Amino acid sequence: MTAKRQAKKEDLRTRLVTAGTQLIRDQGLKGLRARDIAERAGAALGGLYTVFDDLDGLILAVNSGTLKRLEAALERAIPPDATIEQTFLSLSLAYLGFAQAEKNLWAALFEHRMPEGVPVPDWHLAEHAFLIGLIAGPLAGRMPGATAEDIAIRARTFFSAVHGVIAVSLEGRFVGITPERLEREVAALARILAKSLD
């Protein structure tokens, strides 16, 4: 492929991912159509399939961008020389803030499913690793003698606890926390999780 053709393809990819991001931000995954994405990107429908194998490929690219922004937001939130309680509190509140600000894009990270029999690509699974790594790092210092597997499992448990409270609350489930109390309860949960390590 010539450099000029490659540049045109990269430009088209950027426009399609931007359009997909905007549509998911506005309406969520429900009812997302390749035709609408192509139209918003100023491209022919067939153009989408010269860049991505299918709509799932484009959604993975959108989710990849969301993960990068989430990772940056969480890393910025951790104060230098933070205690484990400060770290968990900062991470939890930053995670909540991102989920509230980018509700549909955040939800798409967990709602999107590949077609039956099609695995999520390894590169995309690897992009999620920071969610556990940011918790596992501080945990390792508080779990002397624990195996890497034990630390990873505990980090997953802690992430799932915070994520679960946020998810059921933002979805408006009957067991969720009201918006007025959600930040306070997430902060309380983060402190409880940190104190459980004492």
Terminal alpha carbon distance of the chain: 59
Spans of all domains in the chain: 1-52, 64-195
> Which tokens is 132 given?
């556990």
Write down the pLDDT at residue 1.
61
> pLDDT tens digits, the chain, 198 residues: what are they?
688 888 889 999 999 999 999 999 999 999 899 999 999 999 998 889 999 999 999 999 999 999 999 999 999 999 999 999 999 999 999 999 999 999 999 999 999 999 999 999 999 999 999 999 999 999 999 999 999 999 999 999 999 999 999 999 999 888 899 999 999 999 999 999 999 987
pLDDT for position 165: 97
Q: Do domains 1-52 and 64-195 have the same CATH topology?
A: no
Q: In this structure, which CATH number among 3.50.50.100, 1.10.443.10, 3.30.230.10, 1.10.10.60 belongs to the domain 1-52?
A: 1.10.10.60
Q: Which CATH class is domain 64-195?
A: mainly alpha
Helical ranges in 43-128 per DSSP H: 45-51, 55-77, 84-101, 103-111, 122-127
Q: Are 130 and 155 in contact (CB under 8 A)?
A: no
CB atoms within 10 A of CB 180: 7
Burial label for 120, CB within 10 Å (0-12, 13-18, 19+), is middle
Task: Specify the pTM.
Answer: 0.93
Q: How far apart are CA 169 and CA 9, in angstroms?
A: 41
